[in-house]
Amino acid sequence: MTGKIFVTRKIPAVGLDMLAGRAGLEVDVYQKDRVIPRRELLKRIRGCAGVLTLLTEKVDQEFLEAAGPQLKVVANMAVGYDNIDVHACKNAGVAVANTPGVLTDAVAEHAFALMMAIARRIVESDKFLRAGKYEAWGPLLLLGTQLKGKTLGVVGLGRIGAGVAERAAKGMGMKVLYNDVKRNEDFERSVGAEFAAVEDILRRSDFVSIHVPLLPATRHLVDAAKLAMMKPTAYLVNTSRGPIVDEKALVAALKSKRIAGAALDVFEFEPKLAPGLAKLDNVVITPHTASATFEARSAMAELAAQAILDALDGKTPKNLVTL
Ligand code: GLV
């Protein structure tokens, strides 16, 4: 096997070692710990047979032309691949792979961490203490919401949505409603979940957790009208992609206490936050770190590297999205 590989940022060593350990491959890695500037990206991918990308890189026609005709594979170290024009890649004969499965538990756990943090006002409590405001135990101090017995609405029952639903039902004693493009009766039986329309979920749930991919049909799936359907006591959790929620409308709904709170790992115009969002107490925010465990990120790096090796070996990468 011969060819040039470009890795757009430092990733866990296990992935880099797999690529560097393969005779004949010339591996170039962007060394600065920040998103590679577009111009530099387009320059560095020239002549590459494989590129290991992150969700911060746009893989489009311009990218494909800059890389040139020897490009065979793009492996995105993420489960989501809305940063990639899969159609253009397919037309150019470039295989695209992602890294599903290995981050399911990390992201489901993070969604839960967010849900519990917003329900029990963990960040607000931490700030309160650090600000020296704690004088004495108080019967009404920082009251939150119990999860047990509450209803969780899961929008999108892929691996991650199912992981969150299962934890909610089996671990926390919550009732689970879910929506997906298709019903899953086995899942309903095993978890005791109920299939419902998105609108129904929004009206009936105490917590709504979003787990759909970003597609034209899911952009602003949760807009002002949908937020208005939620209970004033309900919380929204988003660990999928920012543009699925109209963030400006969400800030308005949070400010007016139209809903009780939100916990977000992703943002519509990432890394920017909608004006006013960071000032609100009824919000918990994390910087797109839902899959950021040592375990998940190492496995993602490994899977992405393996996809490049497989494609260059003439094998079909396991997680091909250009089918
Ligand atoms: C992270 O957001 C991913 O898609 O893996």
Please report where in the chains the tokens 């981050």 appear, as a residue: 103
The answer to whether 311 touches 96, Cβ cutoff 8 Å, is no
The pTM of this model reads: 0.97
Q: Which residues line ligand 1 (CB under 6 A)?
A: 55, 78-80, 103, 291
Strand partners, 209: 154, 237
- For residue range 226-275, list pLDDT tens digits in order: 999 999 999 999 999 999 999 999 999 999 999 999 999 999 999 999 99
Residues tagged active-site? 241, 270, 288
**Residue nearest atom 3 of ligand 1, based on CA coordinates:** 78
What does the pLDDT read at residue 219?
Answer: 98
By C-alpha distance, which of 266, 292, 263, 265 is closest to 117? 263
Residue in the block written with tokens 């047990």? 148
Residue-level pLDDT at 125: 98
Q: How confident is the model at residue 298 (pLDDT cuts 50, 70, 90)?
A: very high
Does the pLDDT value for residue 323 go beyond 80?
A: no
- Look at residue 71 and tell me whether its pLDDT is greater than 90: yes
Q: Which fold would CATH assign to domain 3-102+294-312?
A: Rossmann fold (3.40.50)
Pocket test residue of 79, 81, 110 for ligand 1, highest count of atoms within 8 A of CB: 79
Give the CATH superfamily of 104-285: NAD(P)-binding Rossmann-like Domain (3.40.50.720)
Q: What is the mean pLDDT of residues 126-134?
A: 98
pLDDT tens for each residue of 108-121 = 999 999 999 999 99
**In which band, very low, low, confident or very high, does the pLDDT at 308 lie, cut at 50, 70 and 90?**
very high
Mean pLDDT (the chain) is 97
Position 178 scores a pLDDT of 98
Mean pLDDT for the stretch of residues 177-185: 97
**Given ligand 1 and candidates 99, 210, 291, which is best to mutate, with the most ligand atoms within 8 Å of its CB?**
291
CB atoms within 10 A of CB 73: 26
Q: What is the pLDDT of residue 310?
A: 97
For residue 236, give the nearest of 213, 217, 210, 256 by alpha carbon. 210
Q: Per residue in 6-57, pLDDT tens?
A: 999 999 999 999 999 999 999 999 999 999 999 999 999 999 999 999 999 9
What is the pLDDT, as a whole number, of residue 322?
81
First-residue to last-residue Cα distance in the chain: 24
For the CA of 103, the closest atom of ligand 1 is: 5
In the chain, the percentage of residues whose pLDDT exceeds 70 is 100
For the cut 80, the answer to whether the pLDDT of residue 220 exceeds it is yes
Confidence (pLDDT) at 17: 97
Mean pLDDT of 285-301: 98
pLDDT at 1 (0 to 100): 74
Centre of ligand 1 from the C-alpha of residue 130, in Å: 32
CA 133 / ligand 1 centre spacing (Å): 38
Contact 196, 224 (CB under 8 A): no
Asked if 3-102+294-312 and 104-285 have one fold, the answer is: yes
Q: How far apart are CA 90 and CA 283, in angstroms?
A: 40
**Range 204-241 burial, b when 16+ CB lie within 10 A, else e:** bbbbbbbbbebeeebeebbeeebbebbbeebbbbbbbb
Percent of the chain having pLDDT more than 90? 99
Sign of CA dihedral 235, 241, 244, 246: positive
Burial class (CB in 10 A: 0-12, 13-18, 19+), 105: middle
Q: What is the pLDDT of residue 156?
A: 98
Band (2; pLDDT cuts 50, 70, 90): confident
pLDDT digits (tens, 9 = 90+) for 198-211: 999 999 999 999 99
Instruction: Please give the sequence-ordered ranges of beta strands (E in DSSP) within 38-174, or none if there are none.
Output: 50-53, 73-76, 95-97, 151-155
For ligand 1, atom 5, the nearest C-alpha belongs to: 78
Show me where the domains of the chain are located: 3-102+294-312, 104-285
Q: For residues 48 and 6, is the Cβ–Cβ distance under 8 A?
A: yes
